[in-house]
Amino acid sequence: MKIITSPLDKRTIESLKAGDMVALSGIVYTARDQAHKRLVGLINEGRPLPVALEGQTIYYTGPAPARPGAVVGSIGPTTSARMDPYTPVLLDYGVKAMIGKGARSPGVIDSIKQAGAVYLVATGGAAAYLAQFVVSAHVAAFADLGPEAIFALELAGLPLVVAIDSQGRSALWPDAS
Amino acid sequence: MKANYRARPDVLALLKEARNSGATPAGNQALEQLVANADIAASQALPLCQDCGYVTVFAEVGQDVAFDGSFETAVQVGVGQGYELGYLRTSVIQDALTERVRPEVERPANIYTTLVPGDTIKLTVMPKGGGSDNASRMAMLRPTAGVDEIVRFIVEAVAASGAAACPPLFVGVGIGGSFDSVGLLAKKALLRDFREPAQAPAAFEVEVRLLSEINKLGIGPAGLGGAVTALGVAVATDRTHIACLPVAVNISCNQLRSASGTL
Ligand code: SF4
């Protein structure tokens, strides 16, 4: 298993191949449907974003509430395809990596290639297990969205698979077969 | 709360069995993670998935039970409290058209009540994830459509969902009834113990065929390829109109959750 740290640098991204199993540490930002809608709205209006996303990693997830004293509740990936309409704009803006589950549209795969970015997947449904790799979490923007707010997460070795690499190759069914 | 913390025994047993049975290395890693997930969720009282679902309550109410107050309200309040006290994520919003953000805490559940003989109440709670409900489909097929067409419709629905429904899947199928009832039939099929086959030979045959064709798709755990796409198929059938052949497929993710209690 390859150990990588977010934000990912260009060399690391280029070294990742579809199908590689990796462990991700460092900082990532969560964003789901409503946060994507707002972020892209702001970008299209030419207004500043509440978090600087250039070079960063976005994790498609909305955590369960944390118990008192716990860092975070269960937290695992949500369906990436729902973010497809927004993803090319964010990649253009400078986002370099995304974490989610499931396939992406051909348009998104093209954008990933053009941006030299990478798409990683976590196991959907393993959210209690995946929570063990989150060492800190705080709301970074859009607090009014509840679980759909943007959280800054610090990860320690979150197990992921490279699903679409910077060359546009895919490890996901049906592209991989 | 139990439904969200504790893996169903049939689900966990089938996940364990599926390890090293034809998934890719990355797919096998996903299966190992799902088995570990069930342990962690139970021991730390964490929900099995961050999507703690949209709750359906199946209530079997004894007709000799006397109520003091509103049964419907009591169940809705109980579900809301379970989510609040149990640190579960409320994923249900107030109105699908006008309110996409504010969580619905007052009436979060779908409740289906049937009257049965006796003086007890049995509640079955089924929290279901949005990702896999999105992958579900229904169709009113021609009444002359045969098993082949039914199977094709269902396999296509699974194929279209790819990894979005969090495979390995459990597939609930309803055949018969009417437009409104067939979806419920498919959802209820997911309550069956997936280690047990259907009682009716015809339904059993369709189950075997569907399981084999779905697993031939090669989606694999988390969409990472290989043989393990579905862990079980449950087919339930019903009467229907001579002009109709309603078919519904309610796809469940690997986190198929339900729990029952009797009062
Ligand atoms: S589809 Fe199921 S396993 Fe996947 S995220 Fe939703 S609830 Fe969790």
**Could you report the predicted ipTM of this complex, rounded to two decimals?**
0.93
> What is the per-residue pLDDT across B24-37, written as a single tens digit (0 to 9) for each?
999 999 999 999 99
Q: B210-251, pLDDT tens digit by residue?
A: 999 999 999 999 999 999 999 999 999 999 999 999 999 999
Per CB-CB distance under 8 Å, the chain B contacts of A66 are 87
Which residues of chain A have a CB within 8 Å of the CB of B221? Answer: 123
> Looking at the domain assignment, is residue A106 inside a domain?
yes
Residue B237 belongs to a domain:
yes
- As a whole number of angstroms, the distance between CA A122 and CA A102 comes to 9
Q: Which of A4, A24, A36, A115 is catalytic?
A: A36
- Percent of chain B predicted with pLDDT > 70: 100
Count up the domains in chain B and report the number. Answer: 1
The pLDDT tens digits for A116-159 are 999 999 999 999 999 999 999 999 999 999 889 999 999 999 99
Cα separation, B108 vs B72, in Å, equals 11
A and B: number of Cβ contacts within 8 A = 154
Residue A159's domain spans which residues? Answer: 2-169
Task: Provide the β-strand partners of residue B162.
Answer: none
Are B147 and B206 in contact by the 8 Å Cβ rule? The answer is yes
Whether residue B219 is contained in a domain is answered as yes
Question: Which residues, in sequence order, are bridge partners of residue B126?
Answer: B56
B101 has pLDDT over 90: no
Q: List, in order, residues 6 or more apart from B197 with CB less than 8 Å away.
A: B204, B207
User: What pLDDT digit, counting tens, does each position of A34-76 carry?
Assistant: 999 999 999 999 999 999 999 999 999 999 999 999 999 999 9
Q: Is B250 in the pocket of ligand 1 (CB under 6 A)?
A: no
Looking at chain B, the whole-number percentage of residues with pLDDT higher than 90 is 84
Residues A148 and A64: beta-carbon distance below 8 Å: no
Helices (H), A64-171: 87-93, 106-115, 127-131
B76 dihedral zone (left: phi>0; alpha: psi -120 to 50; beta)? alpha
**Is B55 domain-assigned?**
no
What's A91's domain CATH number? 3.20.130.10
Measured in residues, chain B has a length of 263
Residues of B with Cβ-Cβ distance to A145 under 8 angstroms: 101
Structural domain including B248 reads: 131-256
Supply the residue whose CA is at minimum distance from atom 6 of ligand 1. Answer: B129
Helix (H) / strand (E) element for B100: namely: strand B99-103
Question: Structure pTM?
Answer: 0.93
Q: What is the pLDDT of residues A72-104, one digit of tens each?
A: 999 999 999 999 999 999 999 999 999 999 999
**Inter-axis angle of helices B201-216 and B147-161, to 10 degrees?**
40
Number of domains forming the structure of chain A: 1
Judge if the beta carbon of residue B164 lies within 6 A of ligand 1: no
Backbone angles phi, psi at A136, to 5 degrees: -155, 155
How far apart are the CA of B32 and the centre of ligand 1, in A?
A: 17
Strand A57-59 and strand A21-30: the pairing is: parallel
B38: enclosing H helix or E strand? helix B25-44
Does A29 reside within a domain? Answer: yes
